[in-house]
Amino acid sequence: MNNKKTMETELQQQIKNVLSQFPSYWENNMLLNNKVIEDLRNYDELLIKALLSNELVKDTYSVQVSETTLFKTEDFIDVLRYKNYWENSYTKYTNQIGLTSEGKYLKYNTDVVLDFPHKDCVLEGGMTKEDVAKKEIYYNNVLAKEEIDTLLSPKVLSNIKKFDENGKHYISEFIDTDNLILKGNNLVALNSLKEHYIGRVKLIYIDPPYFFKEKKEEDTFNYNSNFHNSTWLTFMKNRLEIAKELLVEGGTIWISINEDGMHYLKVLADSVFGMDKFLGTTPRRTRFGKSDVPFNYSQDFDFLLAYSNVSDNNQVIGRSVDRQYYTSKDYPNRPWRLTDSTTQRNYIERPNSYFTMIDPKTKKEYPASKKRTWAVTKDTFNHYYDKGYIVFPDDYDFLNITKPYIRKFKDEDQSSGKLSSVISDFAIKEFLQELVSNSTNKIGNDELVTLLEDESFSYPKPESLIKAIIEIATKENDIVLDFFMGSGTTQAVAHKMGRQYIGIEQMDYIETVSVPRLQKVIEGEQGGISKDINWQGGGSFVYAELHSLNEQYISRIQEASDDETLNEVLEEIKDNAYLNFKVEFERLKTRDQSFQVLGLEEKKKILIQALDMNQLYLNYSEIEDTQHGISEEVKQFNHSFYQKEGEKND
């Protein structure tokens, strides 16, 4: 008896249910694909009517033309052949594109796999356990439409604990204001976060895997052979689309990216967020020249791309400025400051502001510039002068000015609540002097090494960079999200600055680097920005993991160092894992010589793809299934996390 676990998509199950109504299509519980195909091509009325009576099948394989429903016969036939094709061969299923039948490419209505190979699909990328020098192994799978709902449904959170000044505690309830750290695949985790955080996140900062035209020292991700430009863009697209849903109105997302990938990502991000939602590009110096570079041209910057979700007349970012105010006898209780009295518009654009301003006291004349006209018009000058808003050079002895200025009162500054605009070099301005002798990457690395004596991260971002972004894009208690958490810089800075935060990381260093770093933040560590903001410690965060199913086997496959160890994992997978329905798994067992003669790395790739990627983690909808052994405390935590706000108040 074959006791392996298998998992069919909802669509396949629905198709099987329909076809089970026709006994002539079955022999020894096996579907006679050719007979079904023959009847479909003969437009068998009973068969097509039965298929169209199923809403999911109808939605997937029909099109409405006026009042007529057309059944997409060939697309449905492709799926029948597709399943049979996989069951008879495992050697080709490592290909993501180029699958052939009778010398022609297979076509599936729910997969787009040519030209831009992963254009309209979901690319599920996963990382396995970290190897030496942070070489992160990525695998990816193109998923058909009917598989996506299962993959992206909310997952069970387990191994839950809360860290605070008193150490680690196991908890059974999630509080809405808790900081949250999740371990697991970030595409899956982001979709689970939608249940609780959709439309609530004020700031997203991510430092994703960079796209490189060629392998470079800075490339901390070791892609598989198919992780090229189109795949990388799809990998990013899937995650940015979810990120957009999480942003509150007026929220912003900031993406660190290198020279090779910046322009590709800009076009992609424009399509996700909208060209009109693009805030700007901010350069960040990473080093000061290198001689051994292509074309003898050293690229010494990476970049920040920033987007919002509102129109450009909204102030989504801003900075507080310490201004110099004057006091004078004519306004004893109203400190004031000076600001420019001209605009950037010329005399053609503002003809009413192109006039000679005359000081009423001295009668001195101050003509307007053709390139920069006055901020007031000829008709409104007297009104603003009588209100005290215009200051001339002879009005005060302590002023050293040669033209009229506009007066701004401190009480009006405070009541307006308006923040000053942000200049595009804000991200490097505060630590520019230090960058003259040390690259920002080195600063970030030194901070981490000093804090944890860990050198596994070669290019972590410095805390000052994250601080600069958080300062201009958020206020206290706003939610900050980083779903490429890495060493935890974003979360550490957000914690110190009084922001609520969420972090997602799949790699095992979340337990050895990221979480320990945040524990030290709670203890009051004095690295990074701590001294600048007088950080004294305190606070808390909740740690949880997406409850692993197949994901645990992927880690073990990658860790296998020899055939014997891999064969042991294979046997355990056979009995306990959820398998890809397209694979005849018996042929992967060790007695199959065509599999046995393959190299170790090729075997690993095949075994990973033999697993059902829909079942990496346990769906929340299955939390009550006794076979998974979920404790009552974990159930209670998950119920509190996934409840809607209205339900919590009932």
Q: What is the pLDDT of residues 166-195, one digit of tens each?
A: 999 999 999 999 999 999 989 899 999 998
Distances (CA, A) of 512 to 445, 487, 543: 16, 9, 13
Which pLDDT score, from 0 to 100, does residue 623 have?
Answer: 93
The rounded Cα 84 to chain-centroid distance in angstroms is 37
Structural domains present in the chain: 7-105 (no CATH), 150-218+235-316+423-546 (3.40.50.150), 326-416 (no CATH), 551-611 (no CATH)
- Helix H, strand E, coil C: the string for 613-635 is HHHCECEHHHCCCHHHCCCHHHH
**Residue 125 scores a pLDDT above 70:** no
**Do the Cβ atoms of 495 and 539 come closer than 8 Å?**
yes
Angle, vertex CA 509, rays to CA 505 and CA 512, nearest 5: 125
**Residue 513 scores a pLDDT above 80:** yes
Q: Per the structure block, which two tokens stand in for 476?
A: 């206290």
The string of DSSP codes covering 476-514 is TT-EEEESS-TT-HHHHHHHHTT-EEEEEE-STHIIIII
> Given the DSSP bridges, would you call strands 578-579 and 5-6 parallel, antiparallel or unpaired?
parallel
**Residue 122 scores a pLDDT above 60:** no
Q: Tens digits of per-residue pLDDT, 358-395?
A: 999 999 999 999 999 999 999 999 999 999 999 999 99
Candidates 214, 204, 213; CA nearest to 239 is 204
- 434 vs 428: CA distance, rounded Å: 10
Q: Tens digits of per-residue pLDDT, 547-571?
A: 998 888 887 888 888 988 988 888 8
Residues 321-338 have a mean pLDDT of 86
Q: Tens digits of per-residue pLDDT, 398-456?
A: 999 999 999 999 888 777 655 555 555 554 444 334 333 333 455 555 665 566 555 55
SS3 call for 119: coil
Residues 6+ apart with CB under 8 A from 517: 448, 451, 452, 487, 488, 492
Candidates 563, 549, 526, 559; CA nearest to 613 is 549
- Per-residue burial over 450-484, b if 16 or more Cβ lie within 10 Å, else e, is ebbebebbebbbbbbbbbbbbbbbbeeebbbbbbb
SS3 call for 54: coil
Whole-prediction pTM value?
0.66
SS3 call for 465: helix
SS3 call for 572: helix
Residues 599-611 have a mean pLDDT of 81
**Do the Cβ atoms of 138 and 126 come closer than 8 Å?**
yes
**Residue 544 scores a pLDDT above 80:** yes
Residues 278-286 have a mean pLDDT of 82
Amino acid at site 283:
P
